[in-house]
Structure 1
Amino acid sequence: MEKNQNQITLDKNDLIQFEPVLQKFLREIFLFTSHSLYFPQAIPNQVKGNEQLKPILEKDRLLLPLVFKNNFLGLFVARDVDPAQIKSLLPYLVTMTSLCLDKLYLYKTSITDPLTALFNHNFLQKTIEDEIELILANITLGPNSSLDASLNGYSATFGIILIDLDRFHVINDNFGYEFGDKVLRRIGEELKKLCPEKSVLARIEGDTFALFYPHSSPRKCIKLAKKLKTNISNLIFSYPLSDEQVSVCASFGIVNFPEDIFGPQFQKTATELTHILVEKAKRTLDAAKRNGGNQVYSFGQILSQGGLVLKTLPLGRLILNLSKYVDAREGQRFLVWSQKTGSVEAELNKPGNHYPLIPKGEIAIIEVQDEVSIAEILFLNDPARSVEPGDRLTLIEDGDIVDQGGLGTAKNTKKDLLTGLYSFRDFLATWNRVKESESLMSMALVRIDELKKGKSGIQGEKLVQELSLIARKIFPEKTLGGRYSLNCLIFYLPNVDRKHALDLALEITTQAQAKFGLNLGIGLASYPFLNFSPSHLLDNCRKALDHALFLDPPKVACFDSISLNISADRLFAHGDIYQAMEEYKLSLAADENNNLARNSLGICYARLGHLGLAKQLFQEIISCEPENLMARYNYACACLKLDELVEAEKSFLQCLQLDPEHSFSLFRLGQIEENKGHLGKAWEYYQKAQQTKDGRGLAPRHLARLAHKKGEQEKAREYLHQALVYNPKDAYALNLLARIYLESGDDPEVAETLARQSVSLKPDIASFWEVLAQSLQAQGKTEQARKARSRMTV
């Protein structure tokens, strides 16, 4: 039997990676205020004992040798210790330290997959949860949003790539599990070799791996996944008993945060969001496998091109493979394509295809469940071409108008006997025929939170029937009503203005709550409004309903400036900054006093490099809200980036007048003084920032930089270790620590590890690549050093 080559050990890199855990264990033995790790190339003479290495106490500093299984790993340097306490512990410190390293080894074992020596499922979950907790407050634009994301070191985005080997059971069945384990170990090694520094690669079960990829966009995740897919496909395994050559391929499912989180999901806890993301990644992986395997699928592709008809039902109903975990929503519409057609895009792009493919028709989702959704056929282009199981779906984006030729000619529209309402199809058909005849109109989406029993004891369709009766009594006689979905009704109100529609909606919520204990959400939209046409009513109504669901009861919202803000924030979170800007501009057109939108628009302009426009918007907010701290801070940052240093400094000081503990202003003032060469004043600002709640974890990096400039290397090292305990992904702290290791003549291998992590997090900073090149050169890796330097000019 082949020996498992992936034995779990403890080395220098583990001390760096698990430094916060080691610090916690040692703090249980003795007290210290700061610490650093030291990796000399040779064991220092002062810690050499007769038979074993010994700790050294120098006034209030303790040098603690770290030895695991007779291997010297490095020194833990603790500062501000209590000499009396340490002297009493000196005879036992070696044993206690050894026990701490044993605990660290057990901790590593508990988070490591024993077969591949990769991380396990539990560690991956905890990593994702911790990252979400750190960035959750920074992902949504709003009154406290800042264009300055450079201080905290977080990009507020990451990806999860789920990797599953296709038909791997065939290898186990044909060649045995021992050979299958060998293949898994080799693939784990290949994946680890290709994954970026600071990513977390785990084997979560069987032949399924997962990669947590920090600071990554959907595009970067797709690029990496395709590279991994190619390398896995190129691996060849030889079965020793018969010399058979075996290869494998894999499917990839990608989900990104925050791009793939929708609306109310942002209100979930970090733990709940972690489960949502992992489940979405699994659904994405399933879609890749269903579409033939050996595919790379991102989450957004499931709705746009991964939908399938699973089953047809009577009365034009369908069961789809789409569910709530892929963000399917009631009312979403899809074009249906024949199962005999492959990829629609591929067919359209084939040479010789001069005529567009014709879809079978259009469908709309009416109910979303945990595993599937139910849809109804809106129309068919050719009644002879029926929808069949296996037919593929293409999402119709919000705002696109339903084909009026397909619906407008329907003559056999009928109302449901139970509720007196049209089906969604017949509602749209009727609305398309009548909407152009009115110059004033409104629309309402009335959604029941749940179809469970109300306080009256009735439930399900009976609740919908009662709600329909309430609405029909309150809305005007000429109101057109329909079933938008199983728990949502849609109403078209001709000749009803915005105010009247709002009053009617509030009355419906009051009566529904009083009679049946129903919790409703109602989204309203009216025409005319801005430059929208009647055809935009339905899309605007959906946005108003999203707005309403954020409110406390009564959850009623009429499409307005705030609705546009919420929609724009969602677009911004999904990375569609240009479309988000259009929504913010519309929001300001609807309400010129909406400084929430003005602040967010300014941030968008700044992200695109239009700092002058951004500065002007922030200045407009300040002129009407002089005490708006974030607008003033954003204004100061824009001035700083425009090199208007006097105005920037003045504005940061004004921020401190509004809030003396505004840590980010303290940091920026410190950097201004540092750039002037006034290190003493800069030190004062950074120390003040360290005393604030928000600045406690961020200040050590800046203090370390000043200490390094002053030549106080040991102090700089201690501050950097504090910074990395707070944020292990602080690229600037990692890079400076690597430089200090090189300058001090310490182990260049450790410097290389730190430098690789920094360039992985910030590959665009040329000086980071130079430090990596120097660490490689120090080890005689000339060719690798040359390649690192070549990246400086890319």
Structure 2
Amino acid sequence: MRTIKDIFADESLSFTPQELIDFEHTIKDCISEFLPFTSYSLFFPRGNKGTPVPEPEYRAEDKELVLPLVFQDRMLCYFIAKGVKLKAPSTAPKYIMALATAVLEKIALYKKSVTEPLTGLYSRDYFFDELANSIDQVQGCIAHGSCRAGVEGNTAEMAFSGTLGVIFLDLDNFQTINERYGYLTGDDILSEVGRLLSMVCPKYTTVSRFANDKFAVLVPDAKPRSCFQLSEVIRSGISKLSFTDDITKDTITLTGSLGFVNYPQGLEGGQFRRTPSEQARMLVRKARKGVGVSKDQGRNRVFGYGDILTKGGRVIEKLPMDRMVVSIGETVGAKVGQRFLLRAPKSGAAASATLSQDERLSGRYPAMYKGEVVLVEVQEELSFAEVLHIADPTWTVEPGDRLKLIEGDESLFAVQPEVEDAAVRKDAARLVSYSDFAAHLTTVRQESEQFGLSLIRILDQPADSDDNYQEAMDQMVSGVANIARAVLGDKAYGGRFGLNGMIFFQEDVDCETLMERTLEIEKRVADTLSFKVSIGSSCYPFLNYKRADILENCRKALDHAMLLPEPCVAVFDSISLNLSADRRFMDGDVYGAIDEFKLALLDDDENLLARNSLGICFAQLGRFEDARTHFEEVIAIDDKDILALYNLGWANHSLGDLKKAEAAYRQCLKADPAHVYSLMRLGSIEEKGGNYKKAAELYKQAMEQPGGERMVLRPLARVSYVLGDIEDTREYLHLALNADHNDHQAMHLLARLYLDQGEDPQIAEVLARQSSALSPGKDIYWDVLVEALEAQGKSEEAAKVKARAAG
């Protein structure tokens, strides 16, 4: 008969006071299933290490049960249940204590299921769950046009920035260490890396051993700069680790390559329509792409996903006819027509020379640009490019050459003179190569007073096998090009724009005519060729745009067209500007977004979405007066615009004009009685005015709406505390922390509760430390930590905290 092994026998699982506080609400819920009580508290006795496990004690006069929480024969803390009535006071406590131990074992099993045993970090599955939950929280923020989910006092307080970051770490050449020194040594090293990550990553992050020598970190409320800084701390820490092999006495050192991506900046378009779980996996994949570039550029470095397109590409293979394969594709935002400077791998790298044994020279190679290339075909993972300009014909393109994205229309190289049309290469569809088209466009756009540009993309795929794919796609392009030429006229100049696209230049055409013609092209293609196309066009002159801007505007119009129902046709206009400005806003370029929203309004003064968005941009910059003006202008046109009504209330609230704020919120609720944010804001106004019961009613109404429960828990806790309902206060705060482990305000309030109720100050200290670490700029958090330390007699440590807070 086999012996059943005790899974806790190796003592690999234990509970720290911090973990017991984190699981406090779960412990309470589980114990309440077999022990009815009216209130409870945790108490951590000092110096109980090595002392015998005490017996449970029932105090009949006080109706209080003091229950030691025991795990692995070690007493961790006391669970003090109040309002307890026991029918068998002499025997029941021991049975209840045994059941409480089973509760801890249940939680230990959960802890074991979400942690990886070698490093003690979270598991891959737990990481994805946390990332999906965080994405869901950010989506809720974006959906309401504001990242401000809570209200403190008479102003809106930003609960979080509406972003998050994912950092991915892959140790360099780790398999070599495993093979040379053994897998047990490798495991020891991985364990130390896990310890390092636990030490250097803030507590509010979720650190996971993803697989083998790969690790992932979820950083809530993080912008790209924060992710880069934490990545650099991790990279630097790993490079300082050193190990000695017991057998060979070799010194083993490590390096790591890291990549990071931010949300929502890292996704675009239809990717946001995926479920949070799918988006989580897409984010990790993008962070891993950053790792791939880090390794490609020499290892032991950090590379952000957002930088791959601008400076992370390289030439993979050189092809005939000045073509090449490059390492960037659609997944990193590459598009046909983007131009890059081509530089030698040594450009900007360290240079050194040895003159003698004692003398060494060092410096850096200058910027060495070989030429300029343009993407002519973009696939998912890679692209094909053509040389546009070359600095020196003898200095050829080589695999390994680096790419740097050219912003705008400027070039370091002189424009080559346009060759005669007869000498320009044309394919079977009578379309020139994109590089020839670009050279033609550079010349003719300077000579024309009015012109248009149209990008046509085939949306369907050929039915032929891979062997005939190119030929079949060429036939589809030829068919569309013939129709386009018939509609646009023989004077239209056409070129290829990737494998499934083409581009046409037309003189003397306005926006209205261009729209009519492109709609006709789309209709004829659908009727005669039976497949779909998307067409984006742009005209010059338009607003204050320069001639050189027309290609970029045309791309934006194509992005606009791709989002439309059939027919997928758009001419660059106010809506195209909206979409482009939204993208800038999500990327953190608020000023760039403001410029484009203003242009959208210049084109269409009644573009309510642009005016609303412009107001949100101004509010993000703290310019609430300007924001209020824009929201009022929207409501003057449409007094039932829910977004504008809510944002008007928000702007007034931030300016301290509570009467106007309340009026706007109530008007918003008339249009949408289930508007969670308006209910919350009204509740905060009532709370500010001392009408706590009314505030509680409004918060509870918000809680009943979809998505409302998580947001109102902390406000309900505040109101419950003022009304004297201590247990409801505690319940709401624990639920708030369950919903968001990094809710520093809930931690602060819970610490305050423990101190005010005369309960264990050690718990208050732990909570106060967490809240201070998450938001070090709040003096009241440090004040509570000082108070908790003084309550435990730690006056010297309290004095140090005071000095730090003052500094």
TM-score band w.r.t. shorter chain: 0.7 to 0.9
Q: Report deviation, 1:403.
A: 6.7
Q: Report deviation, 1:352.
A: 10
Q: Report deviation, 1:236.
A: 2.9
Q: Does 1:381 align with 2:391?
A: yes
Q: Report deviation, 1:749.
A: 4.2
Report if the CA contact (8 A) 2:446-2:547 is conserved: yes
Match of 1:105 among 80, 103, 108: 108
Deviates more, 1:575-584 or 1:167-176: 167-176
Q: 1:244 to 1:600 in 2, by over 3 A?
A: same
Paired residue for 2:357? none
Deviates more, 1:719-728 or 1:579-588: 719-728
Report if the CA contact (8 A) 2:351-2:362 is conserved: no
Paired residue for 1:120? 123
| 2:43 alignment partner, SS class | coil
* Aligned residues between the structures: 771
Report if the CA contact (8 A) 1:200-1:213 is conserved: yes
Paired residue for 2:279? 273
Q: Distance in 2 between matches of 1:137 and 1:520?
A: 34
Deviation digits for residues 442-477 of structure 1 (CA, Å, limit 9, x no counterpart): 111111224332999993222222222222222222
Report if the CA contact (8 A) 2:44-2:78 is conserved: no
Match of 1:292 among 290, 298, 314: 298
- Give the residue type in structure 2 aligned to 1:145: G
Q: 1:130 to 1:262 in 2, by over 3 A?
A: same
| 2:259 alignment partner, SS class | strand
What aligned pairs does 1:240-279 form with structure 2 within 5 A after superposition?
Answer: 240-241=246-247, 243-279=249-285
Paired residue for 1:439? 449
Match of 1:215 among 217, 221, 246: 221
TM-score under structure 1 normalisation? 0.88
Report if the CA contact (8 A) 1:330-1:365 is conserved: yes
| 1:486 alignment partner, SS class | coil
Q: 1:91 to 1:521 in 2, by over 3 A?
A: farther
Match of 1:611 among 606, 612, 624: 624
Q: 1:343 to 1:332 in 2, by over 3 A?
A: farther
Q: Distance in 2 between matches of 1:62 and 1:363?
A: 77
Q: Distance in 2 between matches of 1:510 and 1:591?
A: 27
Paired residue for 1:664? 677
Deviates more, 1:581-590 or 1:774-783: 774-783
Q: Report deviation, 1:104.
A: 2.9
Q: Distance in 1 between matches of 2:334 and 2:492?
A: 29
Unmatched tracts of structure 1, length 5 or more = 44-49
Q: Report deviation, 1:56.
A: 11
Q: Report deviation, 1:294.
A: 1.6
Deviation digits for residues 732-766 of structure 1 (CA, Å, limit 9, x no counterpart): 11221122223334444433443343334433322
Deviates more, 1:210-219 or 1:144-153: 144-153
Deviates more, 1:270-279 or 1:743-752: 743-752
| 1:129 alignment partner, SS class | helix
Report if the CA contact (8 A) 1:322-1:372 is conserved: yes
Q: 1:777 to 1:239 in 2, by over 3 A?
A: farther
Q: Report deviation, 1:428.
A: 0.8
Q: 1:611 to 1:770 in 2, by over 3 A?
A: same
Deviation digits for residues 402-431 of structure 1 (CA, Å, limit 9, x no counterpart): 678324444575243322101110001111
| 1:683 alignment partner, SS class | helix
Q: Distance in 2 between matches of 1:650 and 1:387?
A: 66
Q: 1:556 to 1:539 in 2, by over 3 A?
A: same
Match of 2:483 among 459, 463, 470: 470
Paired residue for 2:536? 523
Q: Does 1:684 align with 2:697?
A: yes
Deviation digits for residues 676-708 of structure 1 (CA, Å, limit 9, x no counterpart): 333333333333333333433322211211232
Q: 1:685 to 1:462 in 2, by over 3 A?
A: same
Deviation digits for residues 653-682 of structure 1 (CA, Å, limit 9, x no counterpart): 333333343332232233223223333333
Paired residue for 1:47? none
Deviates more, 1:126-135 or 1:671-680: 671-680
Paired residue for 1:145? 145
Report if the CA contact (8 A) 1:436-1:534 is conserved: yes
- Give the residue type in structure 2 aligned to 1:334: F
Q: Distance in 2 between matches of 1:82 and 1:498?
A: 82
Paired residue for 1:723? 736
- Give the residue type in structure 1 aligned to 2:324: L
Q: 1:224 to 1:574 in 2, by over 3 A?
A: same
Q: Distance in 2 between matches of 1:450 and 1:15?
A: 57
Deviates more, 1:325-334 or 1:522-531: 325-334
What aligned pairs does 1:324-723 form with structure 2 within 5 A after superposition?
Answer: 324-343=330-349, 357=367, 359-397=369-407, 399-401=408-410, 405-411=414-420, 414-453=424-463, 459-723=472-736
Deviates more, 1:490-499 or 1:659-668: 659-668
Q: Report deviation, 1:767.
A: 1.6
Q: 1:53 to 1:491 in 2, by over 3 A?
A: farther
Report if the CA contact (8 A) 1:319-1:373 is conserved: yes
Report if the CA contact (8 A) 2:330-2:378 is conserved: yes
Paired residue for 2:182? 176
What aligned pairs does 1:14-33 form with structure 2 within 5 A after superposition?
Answer: 14-17=19-22
Paired residue for 2:138? 135
Deviates more, 1:419-428 or 1:406-415: 406-415
- Give the residue type in structure 2 aligned to 1:7: S
Report if the CA contact (8 A) 1:776-1:785 is conserved: yes
Q: Report deviation, 1:101.
A: 3.9
- Give the residue type in structure 2 aligned to 1:626: D
Q: Distance in 1 between matches of 2:551 and 2:771?
A: 48
Paired residue for 2:193? 187
Q: Distance in 2 between matches of 1:474 and 1:91?
A: 90
Q: 1:19 to 1:414 in 2, by over 3 A?
A: farther
Deviates more, 1:4-13 or 1:660-669: 4-13
| 1:394 alignment partner, SS class | strand
Report if the CA contact (8 A) 1:445-1:489 is conserved: yes
Deviation digits for residues 549-598 of structure 1 (CA, Å, limit 9, x no counterpart): 11112111111111111111111111111111111111111111111111
Q: 1:116 to 1:466 in 2, by over 3 A?
A: same
| 1:8 alignment partner, SS class | coil
Q: Distance in 1 between matches of 2:592 and 2:281?
A: 29
Q: Distance in 1 between matches of 2:82 and 2:663?
A: 38
Unmatched tracts of structure 2, length 5 or more = 1-8, 47-52, 152-157, 353-360
| 2:415 alignment partner, SS class | helix
Q: 1:646 to 1:696 in 2, by over 3 A?
A: same
Q: Does 1:198 align with 2:204?
A: yes
Match of 2:326 among 306, 320, 324: 320
Deviates more, 1:710-719 or 1:781-790: 781-790
Q: 1:492 to 1:10 in 2, by over 3 A?
A: same
Q: Does 1:166 align with 2:166?
A: no
Identity %: 37
Paired residue for 1:46? none
Report if the CA contact (8 A) 2:147-2:161 is conserved: no
Report if the CA contact (8 A) 1:119-1:203 is conserved: yes
Match of 2:14 among 9, 12, 24: 9
Q: Report deviation, 1:326.
A: 2.3
Q: Report deviation, 1:290.
A: 1.6
- Give the residue type in structure 1 aligned to 2:308: I
Q: 1:289 to 1:352 in 2, by over 3 A?
A: closer
What aligned pairs does 1:729-744 form with structure 2 within 5 A after superposition?
Answer: 729-744=742-757
Q: Distance in 1 between matches of 2:205 and 2:72?
A: 28
| 1:693 alignment partner, SS class | coil
Q: 1:194 to 1:793 in 2, by over 3 A?
A: same
Report if the CA contact (8 A) 1:479-1:491 is conserved: yes
| 1:302 alignment partner, SS class | helix
Q: Report deviation, 1:235.
A: 2.7
Q: 1:310 to 1:748 in 2, by over 3 A?
A: farther
TM-score under structure 2 normalisation? 0.86
Deviates more, 1:226-235 or 1:650-659: 650-659
Q: Distance in 2 between matches of 1:357 and 1:465?
A: 42
Report if the CA contact (8 A) 1:283-1:325 is conserved: no
